[in-house]
Amino acid sequence: MGLTLPADPEMAEIPGVSPNWLTTRLDFLVNWGRANSLWPMPFGTACCAIEFMATAAGRFDISRFGMERMSFSPRQADVLICAGRLPFKLAPIIRRVWDQMPQPKWAISMGACASTGGIFDTYAMVQGIDTIIPVDVYVPGCPPRPEGLMYGIMLLQKKIKSESISDPTLRQEFLANEQGFFLPPEKIDEISEPFGNSVHQTRSA
């Protein structure tokens, strides 16, 4: 299978049996496959996309993570990387891209603007893409260096490797309610702090 045998006892070869066989946990095998062949759907809107391109290019080379195949169709993508600020005009578009991606799927919010709105605390900008789609990993920075994005990718791989296919709740789709939220507004205010330039501005308002 092209595997170098890990020190993990669960992957150990059974002595005296053909070396083409090995025993493992199904979870481990599935997660290993998923985590090392993430096909990214690049959603680059701003300067973060330049850093994302640098990450994909030769020097940093995300093909080391099995991610060199950019999936420009959401239907073949595993991870949505939102690189850059998201204006409200793009909100229905990223929502549709996310809805078109098949399970299992993950999302990385790259940079300050995608994660929180950043310096664009204005009428035109979504204050964090997590009000539109669920996000797995937030990469801070303005823009993050390629090392930062790669650290985010490794965190996502770590997260994927701890999943279990016997837990169906991981793949449950949470559709936004008619307010555009995944949680009720009171819940959002409870778990988040006031943000932006005004103490009166909360996540839900």
Partner 1 sequence: MTATAPAPSPSVEALRAAFGTAILSHAVSCGDTIVLVDRHRAHDILAWLKTTPGQEYNYLTDVTAVDYRDPGQPLEVVYQLRSLGRKADLRIKVPLDKTGSLEVDSVFDLWRGADWLEREVFDMFGVTFAGHPDLRRILMWDTYAEGHPLRKDFPLRGNFTRAEQTRQALAANPEANYSIEELSIADAFSELPDDMKRRLAAGQRGELS
Residue placing its CB nearer to partner 1 in the complex, 91 or 155: 91
Q: What token pair was written down for 40?
A: 């990214």
Query: Per rule CB under 8 A, is residue 183 in the interface with partner 1?
Result: no
Minimum separation from the CB atom of position 189 to partner 1 (A):
11
Helix (H, G, I), strand (E, B) or coil at 97: helix
Query: Per rule CB under 8 A, is residue 173 in the interface with partner 1?
Result: no
| Footprint on residues 107-126 left by partner 1 (CB under 8 A) | 121-124, 126
Q: Are the C-beta atoms of residues 80 and 107 closer than 8 Å to each other?
A: yes
Q: How far apart are CA 3 and CA 21, in angstroms?
A: 12
Could you tell me which stretch among 37-45, 71-79, 90-98, 136-144 binds partner 1 (CB under 8 A)?
90-98
Could you tell me which stretch among 46-54, 57-65, 76-84, 177-185 binds partner 1 (CB under 8 A)?
177-185
Check whether the bond before 144 is cis (ω within 30° of 0). no
Query: Per rule CB under 8 A, is residue 180 in the interface with partner 1?
Result: yes
| Cβ-Cβ contacts under 8 Å for 118 (sequence gap 6 or more) | 85, 111, 112, 142
Helix (H, G, I), strand (E, B) or coil at 139: strand
Residues that bind partner 1 (CB under 8 A): 88-89, 91-93, 95-96, 121-124, 126-127, 131-132, 176, 178-181, 185, 196, 201, 203-205
